[in-house]
Amino acid sequence: MKDEEDEAEYTVDGPLLRVSPYYFTYITNCKLRWQNRKLLDLFSTEFRLYSKEQYTEALENGHVTLNGVPATLDSVIRNGDCMCHRVHRHEPPVSSRPIKVVHQDDDLVIIDKPSGIPAHPTGRYRHNSVTLLLERQLGGIKVHPCNRLDRLTSGLMILAKSGKSAQKMVEQMRDREIHKQYIAKVIGEFPLGETDEEKESGIVVEQPLTTIDPRLSFNIVDKENGKPSKTVFKRLNYDGETSLVLCKPLTRRPTKLEFIYST
């Protein structure tokens, strides 16, 4: 059995790239708001990658430790406790096509991120993520994502070759020196707008949003406590069934385009 400390073993299976299963240990420290809760309850509500039944089995088999000691179904966590969960990971396969590098210099790598691959290790993915796949493709050069795209989203992604370069790029994004645009395909006839200005420049949607479930990226309009969210949408084409829409986020906070379309 492979261990996380070992180098990942990949297999090309036609259009798919598979990573061999390996052991991995999740490590987290107790947050103040978690203290005095049963460990099983905490895991099953805060870390939903696995089911309550799977966590129960892991506890019964000694795969979960609390401060280095095997935990039980009745274990209660205290502030500062260290929790470890050892699993045998089976990552989903991703495209076997090499990641296309659009530009590369001494500081940055700009890629055409393919759909279906997460930008960084998250959830069920680790080795099959853009950062680790690209580091392998570039011969071990460590990269730092400067902008993130959802797993199912394709497009340009900027990665820095050093922490200093990453910080510089983040500052440029913060100061609005770099602008993001998205092109989305949606079902139905997206409105052109009512005024000449809207038809020319696009429709401005400005609603304060609150994230109520970060794991599912589920958001609601919250006029009292929501954070500002402003985006311009302009229809580029309509084929009778679907619309091609240009989306321009105007706020620094990531705009949840999926939520806006659904409304």
The residues assigned a catalytic role are: 150
Sign (positive/negative) of CA torsion 96, 102, 105, 107? negative
| Residues found in the chain | 263
Q: Is 176 left (phi over 0), alpha (psi -120 to 50) or beta?
A: left
Within the chain, strands assigned E span 2-3, 10-13, 16-19, 22-29, 64-66, 69-70, 82-89, 94-95, 100-104, 108-113, 144-145, 155-160, 182-187, 203-206, 209-213, 218-221, 230-238, 242-249
